[in-house]
Amino acid sequence: MTAIVVATVVGALCAIGTYLLLQQDLVRVVWGLSLLSQAANVYLLAMGNILPAGPDAVPVLAGHGEPPSGVTDPLVQALVLTAIVIGFGMTAFALFLSYRVYQEHGTLALAELAEADEAGDRR
Amino acid sequence: MSVIASWTQIPAAIGAEAASTLVVAPLLIALVTAVASLLSGRWHRGRIGVSVLGALAYLLAVAAIDWYIVLAPDAPGIATYQVGGWVAPFGITLVVDGLSAFMLTMVAVIGMASLLSSIRVLPDLDRHRYYFPLFHFLMVGVTGAFLTGDLFNLFVWFEVMLMASYLFVAYDGNALQTRAAFWYVSLNLVASAVFLLGVGGLYATAGSLNMADLSRRLAEPAAYGIDPVPVVGLFGLLLAVFAIKAGLVPFQFWIPSAYQAAPPQIAALLAGATKKVGIYAIIRLSFTVVGDAPVDVSLAVPFTGFEMAGDSPLVFVGAALFAMAIASIFVGGLGAIGGRSIESVLAYSSIGQVGFIALPVAIAAVVPGLRTFGIVAALVYALNHTLAKGLLFLAVGAVRTATGTSRLAELGGLAGRSPSLAVPFFVGLLALVGIPPLSGFFGKFLVFDVAARTASSALVVVVVAGSVLSLVYATRLWTRSFWGPQSTAVETAVADHVQAAVLLALALAIVGVGVGFEPVYAFAEAGAEAALDADAYVEAVDPADEVSTGSGGDH
């Protein structure tokens, strides 16, 4: 059951993210990128499972008394934490960059920016 | 004479402990340099001094790695550093073998040249306070990507490298730069999400992210209860991500605008170093990690009646790389012919050149008999591309400093005005085309040789056509910018001495690699053998299960 819910969530996030990514507005594109990386994070979190506790599975547990009977895989959680931090930084940077694009071009419409690109090549 | 005497006195071996420390040295040096140059505040001379010293120390550390770990008579060939004392597969492992050492050497050389050249184009240093710290953070990311022993850390180092390169693409902050940076950032954010999907899937399927552990598990999937077939698809996702970093067609579209937007000194580094990270990751993952997984493959090539078959995922890698490499050679070559400024020609040309690097890798993946030879050809070609393209991009910087422009329409007659720029530029172009005795000759020759040995005339035709294209755009570049009557911008041009000296040094390096090719070939061969010897890699990173579980009981 959980598996189905998680799969649906990942699928929905990916779909919405992709939809936003294909929009004409730069800010929506940034939202799309952000949702897509969140989808990847949720997916990553779903890749772990319950492990038998012990130093073989979770090295930190060695030397900390009697381990509990089962633990969730700590590796994926560490990975997701790192990925979230990187994703936040990148989203902030992309937002900032879209502001700078607006300052330079006076527009956030992708079609007009693409025109500017072609004009730039023709210089 | 005394130089030779002191050379022979270099001890040929150091202990395992020292070798292990040496592995982490370039990473630490780059990081310390980046932080130190950040801390120097408004003291610009101090920052420049720290930067140059740091780059020099980096170069020395990489040279020490080359000698003590790879090239010395009784060198171990591979050395590892387990961060924090946590052993693989749980801890973070840094590994150096022939392949990563070869890549590191290229990056160290081009990094030094780019740094020295940069110092001369930042007269208003207060505005450029963050240039050098960013530069070194870029080096940290690249170094980490070459050293890391596990997939997730590869992702993290990619991000470190990308963050610095985003800022460099947006560096001048004009309309062109902000636009180029936005495309570049968006594409790479999508790539990062795909990278995470691939990594997560691999972890769920194979149960590990340590490359050595993955390699061992995939070689005997039955013993670990793994189905190797999904791994092929997940690896395909990763391959697309690496192809974006390397700029292979169909993932090449960000390259021209990003390379034109970044300062030319950084474009030299992007072409010379970050592109090679993509190539390195493709070679390392294809051959060392997933190459031994038993998967029966039978793949018919459409319209040719040719069939690729084999028992490893490498056949898929080969098929994908063939398509991407051949398309890159043509797209890059044709695009370069229409370029309107020196850097736009060079940017397209580097798409074509990376096709020339990927082609022998594809051959190596498909034809087992040519495996070592194919990777050697790719490495030698990559070395030539780093030196020649680095030289040419730095020359763009020097031309801009001298004339204020790099558009072909506004240039002309530079050869008469400034021979100190023209001679190295000419050498760089010849190396790109592949004229003996320069490094480019051996690169092209080895790729030709490998293509010819597959006995496929179509491949030879592709390589010849690609070479003709590079000849055409190199000629056009030379006649438009360096020959002909002097334009108004060129008439008053004065070449900067330091920049000209850096160019000359790189030109000498290109000639040097070509003339003294024997040791370079030996180094590339060591790199290729290291890439193919998955057992040695596994043994060095994670010496057998018993040992790691045995030490766990001591706690």
pLDDT digits (tens, 9 = 90+) for B83-126: 887 777 778 899 999 999 999 999 999 999 999 999 888 777 77
Cβ atoms B315, B293 nearer than 8 A: no
CA distance B120 to B497: 9
- Per-residue pLDDT, averaged over A13-28, amounts to 93
Q: Which carries the bigger pLDDT value, residue B292 or residue A12?
A: A12
For residue B374, what pLDDT is reported?
Answer: 94
For residue B382, what pLDDT is reported?
Answer: 95
Mean pLDDT score of chain B: 88
Residues 23-42 of A with CB under 8 A from B: 26, 29, 33, 36-37, 39-41
Name the DSSP class of A25. B
Percentage of chain B exceeding pLDDT 70? 95
Q: Is the pLDDT of residue B183 over 60?
A: yes
What tokens were used for B84?
């924090």
CA-CA-CA-CA torsion for B179, B182, B187, B193, nearest 10 degrees?
A: -170
Task: State the best of B168, B189, B555 to mutate against chain A, taking most chain A CBs within 10 Å.
Answer: B189
Contact A94 B186 (CB under 8 A): yes
For residue B100, what pLDDT is reported?
Answer: 94
Which residues, 6 or more positions from B44, have their beta carbon under 8 angstroms from its beta carbon?
Answer: B125, B126, B129
What tokens were used for A66?
């009697």
Query: Tens of pLDDT along B395-431?
Result: 999 998 888 888 888 888 888 888 888 999 999 999 9
- Nearest residue, CB atoms, A97 vs list B163, B170, B201: B170
- Please report, for residues A106, B168, B181, the alpha-carbon distance to residue B258 in angstroms, rounded to integers and kept in the order given: 21, 9, 7
- Per-residue pLDDT, averaged over B51-59, amounts to 95
Query: Tens of pLDDT along B138-158?
Result: 999 999 999 998 899 999 999
Query: Tens of pLDDT along A35-72?
Result: 999 999 999 988 887 777 666 667 667 666 666 777 77
Contact B196 A43 (CB under 8 A): yes
Q: Is the pLDDT of residue A123 over 50?
A: no
For residue B411, what pLDDT is reported?
Answer: 86
Amino acid at B341: S
- Nearest residue, CB atoms, A55 vs list B156, B197, B555: B555
Cα nearest neighbour of B157 on chain A? A86
For residue B554, what pLDDT is reported?
Answer: 36
For residue B292, what pLDDT is reported?
Answer: 84
Closest CA to B470 of B302, B321, B301, B353: B353
A112 touches chain B (CB under 8 A): no
- Per-residue pLDDT, averaged over A90-113, amounts to 89
Which residues, 6 or more positions from B481, have their beta carbon under 8 angstroms from its beta carbon?
Answer: B342, B399, B408, B411, B412, B414
Cβ atoms A88, B159 nearer than 8 A: no
Contact A43 B166 (CB under 8 A): no
Q: Which carries the bigger pLDDT value, residue B555 or residue B79?
A: B79
pTM: predicted TM-score of the whole model, two decimal places: 0.92
Q: Is the pLDDT of residue B220 over 70?
A: yes
Query: Tens of pLDDT along B513-527?
Result: 999 899 999 999 999
Highest-confidence range of B89-93, B174-178, B488-492, B541-545, by mean pLDDT?
Answer: B174-178
Size of interface A-B (CB pairs under 8 A): 111
- Per-residue pLDDT, averaged over B361-382, amounts to 92
Q: Is the pLDDT of residue B185 over 60?
A: yes
pLDDT bin (cut points 50, 70, 90) of residue A18 is very high
For residue B303, what pLDDT is reported?
Answer: 64
- Per-residue pLDDT, averaged over B225-242, amounts to 91
Query: Tens of pLDDT along B290-305?
Result: 888 888 888 777 666 6
For residue B175, what pLDDT is reported?
Answer: 87
Least confident of A63-67, B36-40, B285-289: A63-67
- Per-residue pLDDT, averaged over B438-451, amounts to 91
Residues 238-277 of B with CB under 8 A from A: 257
For residue B551, what pLDDT is reported?
Answer: 37
pLDDT bin (cut points 50, 70, 90) of residue B2 is very low
For residue B190, what pLDDT is reported?
Answer: 93
Kindly tell me the burial class for residue B126, based on how many C-beta atoms sit within 10 Å of its own C-beta (0-12, 13-18, 19 or more): exposed
> No. of H helices and E strands in chain A?
4, 2
Say how many C-beta atoms besides its own lie within 10 A of residue B220's C-beta.
13
Name the DSSP class of B300. E
How many Cα atoms sit within 13 Å of B28 on the Cβ side? 9
pLDDT bin (cut points 50, 70, 90) of residue B509 is very high
| Closest CA–CA distance from residue B8 to any residue of chain A (Å) | 46
Contact B189 A120 (CB under 8 A): no
Please, what is the angle between helix B131-147 and helix B16-39, to 10°?
A: 160
- Per-residue pLDDT, averaged over A88-113, amounts to 89
3-state secondary structure of B310: strand
Q: What is the DSSP secondary-structure string of B526-555? A: HHHHHHH-HHHHHHHHS--HHHHHHHHTT-
B152 touches chain A (CB under 8 A): yes
Between CA B12 and CA B19, with CA B18 as vertex, the angle to 5 degrees is 70
Task: State the best of A13, A31, A36, A98 to mutate against chain B, taking most chain B CBs within 10 Å.
Answer: A36
CA distance A61 to A77: 16
How many Cα atoms sit within 13 Å of B377 on the Cβ side? 28
What tokens were used for B182?
């936005």
For residue B305, what pLDDT is reported?
Answer: 60
Between CA B350 and CA B100, with CA B185 as vertex, the angle to 5 degrees is 50
- Strand ranges (E), B1-115: 78-82, 93-97
Contact A76 B166 (CB under 8 A): no
**Pairing label, strands A50-52, A70-72:** antiparallel
For residue B11, what pLDDT is reported?
Answer: 67
- C-alpha torsion sign, points A56, A59, A61, A62: positive
B189 touches chain A (CB under 8 A): yes
